[in-house]
Structure 1
Amino acid sequence: MEEVEEQEVSSKIAPPVDLRQLLISCAISDNKSDDFERYIRMAKDAVSLRGDPIQRLGCYVVEGLLARKGTYIYKSLESKYLFSIMQTHYQISTTLQFGYLAANETIAEHGLEGLLMFGLRGLMILFHNFARGGVGLEAVGARILAAIPMEDYIPIEFNGVPDIAQNVTRGMLNVRPGEALAVSFPLLLQQVPDGSLDGNNLRGQLLTMVKSLSPKVVTLVEQDLNTNRIPFVHRFEETLDYYLAMFESMDVILPRNNQDRIDVEMHCWGREVASVIAWDGET
């Protein structure tokens, strides 16, 4: 009798969910409301912020899919907290450190060592942080200069350019005679549409503009990921596999219940995942 009862109980236990395939099914059913609702409910039950890598990634994939449907809006973190998390992200990510180090070393090799005393990485993070505050460019520049420790101080001027990147000319940059011009793209180009969706190749315009400036050196740090490719399902699968590898790499760096890890996954990688999935075109 006990054996029969045990068999009956075990037969009611649901088989483990192939979460990756379930998430792909959600993407495939993007235009089929009934199927999508069924799959997304199953996915929401299977994901977890503190679970294994695919469960953690799944939280942000689900957010992106729901945002794509207009049923979820991501709320950005306050700038002061985001800056701290971005610093943590850099400290624990060896791939990110290597990318910035390689870019900075390349600039140094071309005779621009002075910029590295504070670090291009620090300036980029500061600008990203302060520029989110909704203030003017002059105020952003003042905040950046004030944030540089005096012991690291070098003569730096902040000159805001009141135009979009692809319209910038050399004259706008106030490059003085004898000065070298360096252009750095740290994880930026993938955010610029390449025209594959609407024919408006903003990325090409941006690179053409940079070439016209005749810089002494151009550095590029980029993900090995195409986030502007169509169709949607192809972009979805590529994004899923790329970020799954990143989430899995965290298992050898920090415990799964570590709050720093959760914060980085949520506010750095999670925001990127949700954005790539939710929007076609400019993000």
Structure 2
Amino acid sequence: MSGVSKGSESVKGPFRRLQRSAVESVETPVQWSPVSISWEQSLVEAATAIYGGRVDVASQILRRMSAMPNPMSNSKQKLMGYMLSALESRVSPVDYPPPVAELFTEEHVLSVQSLYDMSPCFRVGFMAANRAILEALSEQPSTNKLHVIDFDIGREKQYHNLLAALSISQAGNQSTLKITTLADSINGEERLRMIGDRLSELTAKEGVRLVFNIVRQKLSELSRDSLGCEPDEVLAVNLAFKLYRMPDKSVSAENPRYDLLRRVKGLGPRVVTLLEQEMNGNTAPFPMRMEEALVYYGALLESIEYSQGDQWERARAEEGLSRKLGNLVACEGGDRVERCEVFGKWRDRMGMAGFELKPQVRHVAESLEEALRCCRPNSGFRTMKEENGGFCFGWRGRTLIVASAWR
């Protein structure tokens, strides 16, 4: 992989001019606010100037900030460096090309996987999806066949955990787990086959029968028949960090995001699990989007700084975050892949597509709370809370992830 390698401190990709240094000390955690310190105010002022068409004023602010020393040795300094690079890309895209194609590379997929594995909030979010899927299976005691359609297997370990849970619950009756996943520009067939092979090795130990199918279809071709759905299966659809990357009506008149939801509803699943980052980063005006990104990514980077894990794994996760943030800030239109929404908007979108929130039973909430207590290395990872039908996980005063289940 050409990303972060041991023995090198430089960040490859669209932000090559930023240099990383090893984290030598951890600062006292702060409550993140978009206007808590002067450099944040300067970044917001630059964004406001860009939004108002005063690019010369923004350029002057960015030049002044670029002259400031920044060792990139803690989360606040990294956030400043990433934001500065993103705004420079927005002002001078020819000199500093923003990350677009890079978000569809294997290197970026691995970076995002590192983020999912390192952050307790993401890990417990995937647990919440599994709990909802298992609960749907338990509601159909006449069958031990589970079929999960996953449009974007972002975290392979989600299925490691699901297989282990099925093994424990099968009580002498061998369970069957069918996973159907769709190959696309991000999830190529070779990568998905490798995931399937590793899961097959695991099922031999867990005693669960695995059927792993890879399909390549257009959205308009999706149907129960084309996806191999059978009447005696419990059908679940896993939408984990998938929808925010799909264009909506603000980008395309075809509205692929809504089209996918409508077609998923037509499959008649027992449960649809939705995981999304809690950030108003889609249709908000640019200065507001900048402030939102400062708060969200400030909290996320700080939480990673306090997470347990290998230094190089952390560096790879941070490199992925720099691309995500760069795309969110520097790009518009079809080039902007990062289009996160807050849960209230997702709730409205799911409702318009015909879905209803699936109430989560109390023991599921209690098990997630216990899981967060066990896997979080620092008290800054906020205890789980239920809000408007979603399970919220976050760092200090900021919700980072919301998990929900629908039918």
Task: Give the structure-2-normalised TM-score.
Answer: 0.54
Q: 2:136 is matched by which residue type in structure 1?
A: H
Q: Aligned with 1:24: secondary structure?
A: helix
Return closer, same or farther for 1:194/1:122 CA change in 2, 3 Å cut-off: same
Return closer, same or farther for 1:37/1:181 CA change in 2, 3 Å cut-off: same
Identity %: 26
Q: 2:193 is matched by which residue type in structure 1?
A: A
Is the Cα–Cα contact under 8 Å of residues 239 and 275 in structure 2 kept in the other structure? yes
- The equivalent position to 2:72 in structure 1, one of 33, 50, 57, is 50
Q: Aligned with 2:211: secondary structure?
A: coil
The alignment status of 1:281 with 2:333, answered yes or no, reads yes
- The equivalent position to 2:125 in structure 1, one of 99, 103, 108, is 99
Structure 2 stretches lacking a partner, 5+ long: 1-36, 138-143, 160-179, 338-407
Q: 2:87 is matched by which residue type in structure 1?
A: L
Tell me by how many angstroms 1:48 deviates.
Answer: 3.8
Return closer, same or farther for 1:252/1:145 CA change in 2, 3 Å cut-off: closer
Range with bigger deviation, 272-281 or 155-164: 155-164
Q: 2:155 is matched by which residue type in structure 1?
A: R
Is the Cα–Cα contact under 8 Å of residues 107 and 219 in structure 1 kept in the other structure? yes
Return closer, same or farther for 1:106/1:200 CA change in 2, 3 Å cut-off: same
Q: Distance in 1 between matches of 2:260 and 2:299?
A: 30
Q: Aligned with 1:159: secondary structure?
A: strand
2:295 equivalent in structure 1: 241
Q: 1:26 is matched by which residue type in structure 2?
A: A
Tell me by how many angstroms 1:96 deviates.
Answer: 0.5
Q: Distance in 2 between matches of 1:230 and 1:47?
A: 32
Is the Cα–Cα contact under 8 Å of residues 132 and 273 in structure 2 kept in the other structure? yes
- The equivalent position to 2:313 in structure 1, one of 245, 260, 264, is 260
Tell me by how many angstroms 1:82 deviates.
Answer: 5.2
Q: Distance in 1 between matches of 2:155 and 2:302?
A: 25
Tell me by how many angstroms 1:133 deviates.
Answer: 7.5
- The equivalent position to 1:67 in structure 2, one of 89, 92, 97, is 89
- The equivalent position to 2:56 in structure 1, one of 22, 30, 34, is 34
**Larger Rg, first or second structure (1 or 2):** 1
Return closer, same or farther for 1:231/1:197 CA change in 2, 3 Å cut-off: farther
Q: Which has the higher strand share?
A: 2
2:106 equivalent in structure 1: 79
Return closer, same or farther for 1:120/1:199 CA change in 2, 3 Å cut-off: closer
Q: 2:47 is matched by which residue type in structure 1?
A: A
Is the Cα–Cα contact under 8 Å of residues 185 and 220 in structure 1 kept in the other structure? yes
Q: Distance in 1 between matches of 2:80 and 2:288?
A: 17
Q: Distance in 1 between matches of 2:240 and 2:186?
A: 21
Q: Distance in 2 between matches of 1:81 and 1:91?
A: 14
Return closer, same or farther for 1:204/1:88 CA change in 2, 3 Å cut-off: closer
Return closer, same or farther for 1:134/1:252 CA change in 2, 3 Å cut-off: closer
Q: How does 1:1-283 map to 2 (within 5 A)?
A: 18-30=38-50, 31-46=53-68, 48=70, 50-68=72-90, 69-70=92-93, 71-73=95-97, 74=99, 76=102, 79=106, 83=110, 85-111=111-137, 121-122=155-156, 137=189, 139-148=190-199, 150-153=201-204, 154-164=209-219, 168-196=222-250, 200-253=254-307, 258-267=311-320, 269-282=321-334, 283=337
Return closer, same or farther for 1:67/1:168 CA change in 2, 3 Å cut-off: farther
2:11 equivalent in structure 1: none
Tell me by how many angstroms 1:172 deviates.
Answer: 2.2
Tell me by how many angstroms 1:104 deviates.
Answer: 0.7
Q: Distance in 2 between matches of 1:225 and 1:80?
A: 24
Q: Which has the higher helix share?
A: 1
Q: Distance in 1 between matches of 2:124 and 2:327?
A: 25
Q: Distance in 2 between matches of 1:161 and 1:195?
A: 24
Q: Deviations over 1:157-182 (max 9, x none)?
A: 32313213x65233321212312221
Return closer, same or farther for 1:19/1:200 CA change in 2, 3 Å cut-off: farther
Q: Distance in 1 between matches of 2:146 and 2:221?
A: 28
